[in-house]
Amino acid sequence: MPNPDFKSVSEYLVSQPEAVRRTLRLVRSAIREAVPRAEEVIAYNMPTYKLHREPVIYFAAWKHHYSLYPATDPVLTTFKNELAAYQVKHRTIRFPFSQPVPVKLIAGIAKLRAKEVAQREKVNAATAKKR
């Protein structure tokens, strides 16, 4: 059965089983509170949060876990101890549905990613000025 093309994060959440939906609502809330100015969209058929038209963070539900993307080098370094309890592979952090949602960790990751995007935006603006 093909995946539907979601038009909104709310539509994505409604498509999930109730237990998964409860978990994802916590993830969504943590991200929205951490990065309140982020635009909430669907990209790559996943809930996505953007600043300055640049993706900050994505999340997606899978059969036994949900994932956050991207796990950049600063994220992995800053949250090394907290992430030790989770599977991290190929810039993806996997959180099992069987464990409580680490709301503070997710919020911290979202804030750090927002800083990364803002910094990249400053560098791009400075580079454009030099031209």
CATH architecture of the domain covering 9-118: Alpha-Beta Complex (3.90)
- Per residue in 9-48, pLDDT (tens digit) is 999 999 999 999 999 999 999 999 999 999 999 999 999 9
- Report pTM: 0.90
Task: List the one residue out of 75, 86, 76 whose CA is nearest residue 117.
Answer: 75
**Please, which pLDDT band fits residue 129 given cuts at 50, 70 and 90?**
low
Residue boundaries of the structural domains of the chain: 9-118
- Per residue in 74-88, pLDDT (tens digit) is 999 999 999 999 999
